């Protein structure tokens, strides 16, 4: 896939703005659409082209990446009357990087197949830091040939890019990721508050435990934000609750218990009710504090 292809990006949020900027810097012709045009200002100032709707992006671009909020937004973006699948060119590549429902990813893939439109589900992990540094983990579901064709674009966004299986496999893998994070965030929050209440220096404690058996991405990246009382979103609590709901639904379908996930969801919902839904996931610290 050469630099002359027209690339579309829909959804310029906390992560989307960095991801789109990497594609622009890589030399791709970039076309963008997001509900609030102001969010795309920096991209437009640097040469991206604004389009007024999802349908306009679809008609113009050869490859389109989406990073929207909720499964309902994914459904509207792809399957709505003005959606990508009804306006994209035959042979176009559509890559949904939103964390969404595996069943919806399969529906979109099957609809695309009917229209000779190639579809991948490719949710990511790494938060705002991974997006900013182009070091995202990208979990992909879809056909191998389509995956290989889209790799030059995906490689501008991440460093760990793995085809997990057929359509929906990317989303299932992301559920594994979110289930792991749910329990990890409880542990990180508890540990940081415990350190403070025990009269320790949390930064020194972190220096000791981050390189031992307790080490994790969350401990490295989010515990320092807890210590600094920085609760700005690298990943919104409201979106994490959405992800946990999807994971619980999928786990129920698989007839398996997820005790840690269920408790984490309960705690984050309590935090959201206290007005923290637009804070970063590290704000769970406040609940323990």
Residues belonging to the active site: 174
Q: DSSP string covering the chain, please?
A: --TTSEEEEE--STTHHHHHHHHHHTT-EEEEE-SSGGGGHHHHHTT-EE-SSHHHHHHH-SEEEE--SSHHHHHHHHHSTTSGGGTSPTT-EEEE-S---HHHHHHHHHHHHHTT-EEEE--EESHHHHHHTT-EEEEEES-HHHHHHHHHHHTTTEEEEEEEESTTHHHHHHHHHHHHHHHHHHHHHHHHHHHHHTT--HHHHHHHHTTSTT--HHHHHTHHHHHTT----SSBHHHHHHHHHHHHHHHHHTT---HHHHHHHHHHHHHIIIIITTSBGGGHHHHH-
């Amino acid at each position: 896939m050469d630099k002359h292809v027209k690339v579309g990006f829909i959804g310029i949020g906390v992560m989307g703005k960095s991801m789109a900027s990497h594609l622009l810097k890589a030399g791709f012709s970039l076309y963008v659409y997001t509900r609030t045009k102001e969010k795309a200002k920096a991209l437009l100032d640097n040469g991206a082209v604004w389009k007024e709707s999802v349908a306009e992006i679809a008609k113009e671009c050869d490859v389109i990446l989406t990073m929207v909020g909720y499964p309902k937004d994914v459904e509207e973006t792809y399957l709505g009357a003005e959606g990508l699948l009804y306006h994209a060119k035959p042979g176009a590549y559509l890559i949904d990087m939103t964390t969404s429902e595996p069943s919806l990813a399969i529906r979109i893939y099957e609809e695309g197949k009917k229209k000779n439109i190639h579809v991948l589900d490719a949710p990511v992990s790494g938060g705002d830091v991974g997006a900013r540094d182009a070091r995202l983990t990208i979990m992909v579901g879809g056909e191998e040939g389509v995956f290989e064709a889209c790799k030059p674009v995906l490689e501008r966004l991440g460093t760990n890019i793995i085809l997990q299986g057929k359509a929906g496999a990317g989303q299932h893998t992301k559920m594994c990721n979110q289930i792991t994070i749910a329990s990890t965030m409880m542990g990180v929050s508890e540990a940081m508050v415990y350190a403070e209440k025990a009269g320790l220096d949390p930064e020194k404690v972190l220096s000791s435990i981050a390189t031992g058996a307790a080490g994790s991405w969350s401990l490295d990246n989010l515990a320092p934000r807890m210590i600094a009382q920085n609760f700005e979103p690298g990943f919104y609590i409201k979106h994490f609750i959405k992800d946990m709901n999807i994971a619980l639904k999928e786990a129920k379908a698989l007839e398996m218990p997820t005790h840690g996930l269920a408790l984490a969801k309960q705690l984050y919902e309590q935090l959201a009710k206290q007005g923290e839904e637009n804070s970063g996931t590290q704000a769970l610290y406040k609940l323990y504090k």
